[in-house]
C-alpha cells in the first residue's frame, strides 16, 4: 500500500448487519476502481476520553456504534482517479441513497503512510487518531518506528501510521475538529492489527509498563487529544 483513505462513522447498532452488507456490496466497485484492500471494523472497546474520543469525533448517539475503516490504494494518483470515477458512477450514486448510517457525520481523508510494518489479516484492530504539529513530523515518525517495534515484539501482525495528506473540512464534523486541531497541526490516522483481542490486551499491559515506550523528552504531539479504541473486523478483503 502507498496511499490510504481513512474513515470514521457512527452507525446505529441495530444496523450492523445492514452496514456490513452495504460495505460488502460496495467492495467490488472499489476494487474495480483500483483499491487493493478495504477494511471495515466495528467498535468493541472504545473508551470515552477526557478531551476527545471516537464517539465525539462523529457525534455518536447512545444507540450508535463507531466504525473505523480504511481503503488501500497503490498511490495517490490511483486513489484520485478512483474518486472521480465513483462520483460519476450511477451505481455508486444509487448506493449512496440507501446508506444505513448518517453520512453527514462520517469523517474521512487521504493519508500517506509514514510507517508500514507487517502484513496479514487479524482478528482485532486498534484504531488511533493523533494530532501532530507539522514541524514535528520527523520526530513523530521516529517515535512511531520505536513503538511499532515494541508492538510487533508483543504480537502485532502489522502497524501503519499515516500522515494527513488530503483531509478536507466537513460541514458537520471532520478529522480536524475531532482532534481539536490547532494552527499548524496535522492528523495522523493509524492502526495496529492483532491476531485476537486476548493478544492485544496482554500486549498493551506489557507495553504500558515497558520504559522503552516512553518518548525521549517531550512527546511530539498532545497526548490529551489523541484518541484510540479497539475494533472487530467485519469486512477485510
Give the tens place of pLDDT for each residue, 146-169. Answer: 999 999 999 999 999 999 999 999
Confidence category of residue 1, pLDDT binned at 50, 70, 90: low
Domain coordinates in residue numbering, the chain: 3-236
Let me know if domain 3-236 sits in CATH 3.30.70.100: yes
CA distances from 37 to 18, 56, 112, 161, 237 (A): 20, 27, 15, 17, 5
Phi and psi torsions of 178, nearest 5°: -60, -35
Where helices occur in the chain by DSSP H, the ranges are 16-32, 54-57, 76-88, 90-96, 137-153, 175-178, 197-208
Average confidence (pLDDT) over 119-145: 96
Threshold 0.75, pTM exceeds = yes
Model pLDDT, residue 89: 83
Q: Percentage of residues in the chain with pLDDT exceeding 70? A: 100
Q: pLDDT at residue 213 above 90? A: no
Model pLDDT, residue 227: 98
C-alpha cell read off for 125? 484492530
Amino acid at each position: 500500500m502507498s496511499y490510504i483513505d481513512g474513515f470514521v462513522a457512527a452507525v446505529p447498532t441495530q444496523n450492523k448487519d445492514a452496514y456490513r452488507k452495504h460495505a460488502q456490496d460496495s467492495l467490488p466497485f472499489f476494487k474495480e476502481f483500483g483499491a487493493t484492500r478495504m477494511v471495515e471494523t466495528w467498535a468493541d472497546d472504545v473508551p470515552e476520553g477526557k478531551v476527545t474520543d471516537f464517539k465525539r469525533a462523529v457525534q455518536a448517539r447512545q444507540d450508535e456504534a463507531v466504525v473505523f475503516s480504511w481503503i488501500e490504494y497503490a498511490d495517490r494518483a490511483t486513489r484520485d482517479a478512483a474518486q472521480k470515477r465513483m462520483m460519476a458512477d450511477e451505481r455508486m450514486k444509487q448506493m449512496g441513497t440507501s446508506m444505513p448510517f448518517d453520512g453527514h457525520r462520517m469523517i474521512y481523508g487521504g493519508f500517506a503512510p509514514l510507517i508500514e510494518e507487517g502484513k496479514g489479516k487479524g482478528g482485532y484492530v486498534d484504531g488511533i487518531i493523533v494530532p501532530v504539529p507539522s514541524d514535528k513530523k520527523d520526530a513523530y515518525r521516529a517515535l512511531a518506528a520505536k513503538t511499532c517495534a515494541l508492538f510487533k515484539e508483543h504480537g502485532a501482525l502489522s502497524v501503519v501510521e499515516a500522515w494527513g495528506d488530503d483531509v478536507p473540512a466537513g460541514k458537520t464534523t471532520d478529522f480536524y475538529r475531532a482532534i481539536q486541531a490547532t494552527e499548524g497541526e496535522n492528523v495522523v490516522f493509524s492502526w495496529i492489527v492483532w491476531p485476537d483481542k486476548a493478544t492485544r490486551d496482554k500486549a498493551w499491559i506489557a507495553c504500558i509498563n515497558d520504559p522503552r515506550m516512553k518518548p525521549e523528552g517531550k512527546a511530539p504531539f498532545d497526548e490529551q487529544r489523541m484518541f484510540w479504541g479497539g475494533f472487530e473486523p467485519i469486512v477485510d478483503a
